[in-house]
Amino acid sequence: MTENTTHTPRGKIMLVGLGPGSHDYLTARARAAIGEADTVIGYATYIRLVKDLLEGKEIVKKAMAEELDRAIEAYERAKLGKKVALVSSGDAGVYGMAGPTFEVLFQAGWTPDSDIEVEIIPGASAINTCASLVGAPLTHDFCAISLSDLLTPWPTIARRLNAVAYADFVVALYNPKSGRRTRQIEEAQRIFLQFRDPKTPVAIVKSAFRPKQRIEFTTLDKLTEADIGMLTTVLIGNSNTYVKHGLMITPRGYANKYDVEVGNRAAREGEKAGVSLSTGLNGWLAAIHGSDKTPAELALEYRLPEVYIRSVLEHPPVDLADADDSGEE
């Protein structure tokens, strides 16, 4: 925020994550950033989401796939001392404008202490907003994969789908399908079916928190029959995810540490609240180091690469007796 010595006032690029788009889910800072902007640049759909906040401002609407164009437009105006808001739905960093903007700025020789300030205003991404509408699917490890092969070779995408289907992540598919890009979702389904139960719950959320919002629950084997398009996020559960009363829930852990009954707040026998599971790292290290099995057998038993088992065996724990843990969540 240092003042420039030239006559041009210091410009600013604000990368604004709008969240789902409804004003209720704008952060105070996102709203203020749009308020202080001279120019607002974005894909036409995103501009429409905030149109009542734009009076008196220069508006630059762009088509999709013109991300570099948007970043260049922002740079050119900020260079003249303007305050520019680059608006995106969701989070500006998640497959968003933050990346292309820095690419353009770096190419132009920009540095953080030069004549243009850059601010990124985070927001809830589609994975978060869609999850909040269907229940609690993200209570455990998750990932986001874009099925768009406009900038990513298919083998890279397929490698990722294979990895996370095997490792039992909850998965959000971004850009699952477009007018002519229809086979990617079928390939994704086929990869998942190699590792996951056909009845794995899937939620398909379109235009979350917008007037045309639509939520559909299905299962992995029927995924490609669902209505999926450009404004859709596909959420695939993990092996513990279930749907009950129209809500998609991923339990917190894999261990059923607690008997979840109202009035019974105690942990199960052999487990302790706030402490690592008996099958947590220390317990597992003790089991591995005390085992007579070969690394290959252990790899098979725990479905882990043999190279990892070998490296664990080469690094014995300092003190297995000190296997206690402090409370946390």
Residues 274-303 that bind a copy of itself (CB under 8 A): 274-277, 279-285, 302-303
**Residues 74 to 133: which contact a copy of itself by CB under 8 A?**
75, 91-96, 98-104, 106-108, 111-112, 120-125, 128-129, 131-133
Residue 237 near residue 140, CB atoms below 8 Å: no
1 near a copy of itself, judged by CB under 8 A: no
**Residues 166 to 225: which contact a copy of itself by CB under 8 A?**
166-169, 175, 178-181, 183-184, 187, 190-191, 194
Alpha carbon 175 to its chain centroid, in Å, reads 13
Binding characters for a copy of itself, 8-27, by CB under 8 A (x = yes):
---------x-xx--xxxxx
> In the block, which residue shows the tokens 């993990």?
238
Write the DSSP assignment of 296-311 as a string of letters. Answer: HHHHHHHT--HHHHHH
* Closest separation in Å from C-beta 125 to a copy of itself: 6
At 137, is the secondary structure helix, strand, or coil? coil
Considering only CA atoms, which of 49, 38, 46 is closest in space to residue 73?
Answer: 38
Pick 87 or 249: Cβ nearer a copy of itself: 249
Pick 23 or 222: Cβ nearer a copy of itself: 23
Radius of gyration of the chain (CA): 24
* Closest separation in Å from C-beta 235 to a copy of itself: 11
**Residues binding a copy of itself: what is the number (CB under 8 A)?**
142
- d(CA 229, CA 179) in angstroms, rounded, equals 8
Residues in the chain: 329
- d(CA 256, CA 270) in angstroms, rounded, equals 12
At residue 218, what is the residue type? T
- d(CA 273, CA 284) in angstroms, rounded, equals 18
Binds a copy of itself (CB under 8 A): choice among 65, 80, 296, 300: 65
Burial letters for 161-186: b for 16+ Cβ neighbours within 10 Å, e otherwise? Answer: beebbeebbbbbbbbbbeeeeeebbe
Binds a copy of itself (CB under 8 A): choice among 29, 57, 61, 210: 29
Stretch that binds a copy of itself, among 4-12, 197-205, 218-226, 273-281 (CB under 8 A): 273-281
Distance between first and last Cα of the chain: 38
Binds a copy of itself (CB under 8 A): choice among 136, 216, 218, 224: 136
- d(CA 155, CA 101) in angstroms, rounded, equals 27
Binding characters for a copy of itself, 230-269, by CB under 8 A (x = yes):
x-------------xxxx-xxxxxxx-xx-xxxx-x----
* Closest separation in Å from C-beta 263 to a copy of itself: 8
* Closest separation in Å from C-beta 123 to a copy of itself: 6
* Closest separation in Å from C-beta 42 to a copy of itself: 11
∠ CA 234-103-58, rounded to 5°: 80
- d(CA 62, CA 57) in angstroms, rounded, equals 16
28 near a copy of itself, judged by CB under 8 A: yes
Binds a copy of itself (CB under 8 A): choice among 140, 196, 202, 237: 140
* Closest separation in Å from C-beta 155 to a copy of itself: 4
* Closest separation in Å from C-beta 83 to a copy of itself: 17
* Closest separation in Å from C-beta 69 to a copy of itself: 6
